Structure 1
C-alpha cells in the first residue's frame, strides 16, 4: 500500500463535517467511497434521504465468505472540522473521526482490494448512522449478515492495541407520560401528575441494575412540567440498558409492561418507544475459529495485542446474534474516540492491514 496516498485520503475525509445528522457531509464521504470502489459492484441505498448506505460486492452472488463493515458518520457537530482540522505531528494524526473511524474505512479498502479477484466472495457495508445506533441501516446489515459466514468490523483497535471479541448489547427507550394539568393550589385534585409517575418508573427501572452481573441501567434524561403552581401534564424519560446477557433486555421489557399495566398514578397514560437496540455480541464457534487464525498471524507478525470484552456497541452486535463468525476492532490503533483529543497512531496502519490480509489468506 501507499501510505502517503492513504494519509492524503484520510485528510480529505477528516476535514469534512459528517455527523450522523449532517446530510451534505455524509453524502460527500459516501460519494468518496463510491468512487474508490468504482471497479466493484456498488449498490447505493438512499433509505431515509439523510443516511445513505453502500453495499459493495466483488461479484454478484447470493452468499458471502466475508462481510467487511464500517461507518462514515461521527459524533461531532458542524464546524468541528474547521475548528480542529486534520493534523500530523510525528507518529500521531488528529482530527474529528480520524480514529473513529475514517482510518478504519481506508484500511478496509486496502484489505479488500487485494482480495477482489480472489476465490473469496466479499461484501462490504459502509453506513452513515452507526453513531445513532444504526437505526436506519440495521435492517440492511441484518439482511446481508444472514448471507455471510464471517465478518470483520474495522472499528479501531484500543489504545493498547487490543481488538474486540465481545460487546455488550444495549437497548434505549423513550417513555412519555401524559397526565392532566391543574392549578396546584386551587384544584390539585383535578390534576394527574406525570412527573410523579415518571419518578416511580425511574426507581423501578433502576432496580434492574446489577453491576456484578454486568447488567447496567442508566436513566439519562428526565423532562416535565413548567411551574410549581401547575400539576404537570407531561413528562419524558430516556434510558438505556446494557449487558452481555440478552435476558437483561427481556427483563427490562417485562418491567415496562408491568408498570404500564399497573400505574402508580391513577388516570395516567404511558407511551413506550424503543429508540435503539443492539443485541449482545458473544464469541460463537465461528468467531472462535476466526480468532484462532488471528492469534497465529499475530505471533508471526509479532503484534502485541489481546482481545477485550467491552461495554460499547457496534454493528458487530447485529451480526453475532445471527451466528456469523465476527470480530471487531481490527482497524488501526489510536484512542480517545468521541473526544477533542481523538488520535491515530500512524505507524500502526500498515501493520494492522497486513495482519488482516494474512488472516484472509488462510481462507483461500
Structure 2
C-alpha cells in the first residue's frame, strides 16, 4: 500500500498539468468539436501509457452527432475484466473555459468540469499508470471508457455502455467522491418526460366554446402529477417547465411540459412511469390531446450482493491506506445505472473529492488526488485477486 501511495504521488504533477489542459477545453454536451478535442488529449495520454484506443462516433435518436466514445484497453495476466467509466462532457455553454479558466487556490482546483468528470477520468488513467509502473497486472483486462453525452442521459452511448456492462466483472465509475468523501453505492432511476398538449385555438371573448384549452389541460395535469409525490416511498415527480399560449385573448391551442421522475426501486419507477402515462392519456379537458415522450429513461441502480462485496472491499483497501471510507445513495442518475442494468457489479464516486458540480463554484480537492488514485489502483488490484462472491 505504501508503494501505491508513492507511485500515485509521483503522478501528481502530471495529473495537475493534464487537468489544466482538459478543463481548458469547452466540452459541453453537444459541443462536438470540443468533445473531440478533449478525447484527442485523453487518447494521446492513453497511447503513451500503452493502452490500445478505439474511438466510436455516437449520435442522438434524431441522428445529431454527439461526439466520440473513447475506449482504451490493457490486457493483464489474470481473468477478471474491470471497467473504469467516466465522461468528458460538461453542462456549461461555449466560452466558459475562457471566462472561468482553470485555477488553483488553497489546495482546490476550479474550472468547468474539474470535478464532474474530468478530474475523475484523469484519476482513472493515473491509477492504470500506477498499476503498470508497479507491474501489478492481475486483472484480465482493464477498460477505460470516456463518453461524450452523460450529462444528457447518454442517448448515444447507452447501447455501448450496456454492452460493456454485460461483458465485465466490475464497473468502477469515476464520478468524483461526494464532498464529504463518500463513495456512491446506489442511484435513483431517472426519466425526463416531455408532454405536448394539443388543443384548439379560439377567440377568448367571442366564442371560447369553440376552443380546447391546452393551457388549462397542462395546469390540471401539473396538479395531478404533483399529487404522485408521496404515493410511493422515494419517488419524486417534478414539473420543471411549462409553456403555453401567447396572448390572453386566445384559447391556447398548445402547451409543453417537461417532467422529472426519480425513484429508488425498479418496481416503483415502472409503476410511477405507468401512472404518468395513464394520466397523460386520460381526458383532461374536452378536445385536448396529450402526446408523451420519455427521453433517456435510466432505471434505478439497486445494489446486488456482488456490488455490496465490492463496496466492502473498497473499505478494506481504504483502511489499509489509512483512508476511512463510507458510502451513500444519491438521487442523481449516471452511467452507473446503465452499467448496473446490464449486469455489472458497480461502485461509483471513485474519483478525487469534489463538489459544487454544475455550478460556477465547482471544485476539486487536490490533496485527495494521491490517496484516491492509490485507492482506485488498490481496489482494481484486490478485486482482480480476491475470492469474492463468484
Q: TM bucket by the smaller chain?
A: over 0.9
Q: How does 1:194-343 map to 2 (within 5 A)?
A: 194-210=214-230, 213-343=233-363
DSSP-derived class of the 1:182 partner: coil
Distance 2:231 2:37 in 1: 42
CA distance in 2 between counterparts of 1:90 and 1:186 reads: 67
Q: 2:98 & 2:117 partners in 1: Cα distance?
A: 18
After TM superposition, the structure 1 = structure 2 runs for residues 95-110 of structure 1, keeping only pairs within 5 Å, are 95-110=111-126
Q: Which of these residues, 39, 43, 68, is aligned with residue 34 of structure 1? A: 43
Q: TM-score, normalised by structure 2?
A: 0.89
In structure 2, the partner of 1:74 is: 90
Post-superposition shift, 1:180? 0.8
- Secondary structure at the aligned position of 1:151 is classed as strand
Shift of 1:110: 1.1
Query: Once superposed, what is the RMSD of the aligned Cα atoms?
Result: 1.9
SS at match of 1:312: coil
Partner of 1:91: 107
Cα 1:211/1:340, change in 2 over 3 Å:
farther
Aligned residues: 363
Instruction: Answer yes or no: is the 8 Å Cα contact 2:83–2:144 preserved in 1.
Output: yes
Per the TM alignment, residue 64 of structure 1 is displaced from its structure 2 partner at its CA by 5.8
List gaps (5 residues or longer) in structure 1: none
**Distance in 2 separating the partners of 1:203 and 1:56:** 48
Residue of 5, 11, 14 corresponding to 1:2: 11
Distance 1:145 1:160, change over 3 A: same
SS at match of 1:152: strand
Change (3 A) 1:211 1:90: farther
Kept in 2, the 8 Å contact 1:205–1:255? The answer is no
Counterpart residue number, 1:361: 381
Q: TM-score, normalised by structure 1?
A: 0.95
Shift of 1:260: 4.1
Match of 1:13 among 11, 15, 22: 22
SS in structure 2 opposite 1:146? helix
| Equivalent residues in 2 for 1:143-222, closer than 5 Å | 143-210=163-230, 213-222=233-242
Structure 1 runs (4+) deviating above 3 angstroms are 113-117
String of CA shifts for 1:138-181, please: whole Å, max 9, x gaps. Answer: 11101111111111001101111111111111111000011111
Cα distance between partner residues in 2 of 1:101 and 1:254: 33
Label 1:257 to 1:101 Cα distance change in 2 as closer, same or farther (>3 A).
Answer: closer
d(CA) in 2 for partners of 1:212, 1:50? 35
Residue in 2 aligned with 1:130?
150
Q: For the residues of structure 2 that align with 1:167 and 1:181, how far apart are their CA atoms?
A: 43
CA distance in 1, matches of 2:282, 2:301: 34
- Structure 1 residues 85, 186: CA separation in 2 closer, same or farther (over 3 Å shift)? same
1:212 to partner: Cα distance? 7.9
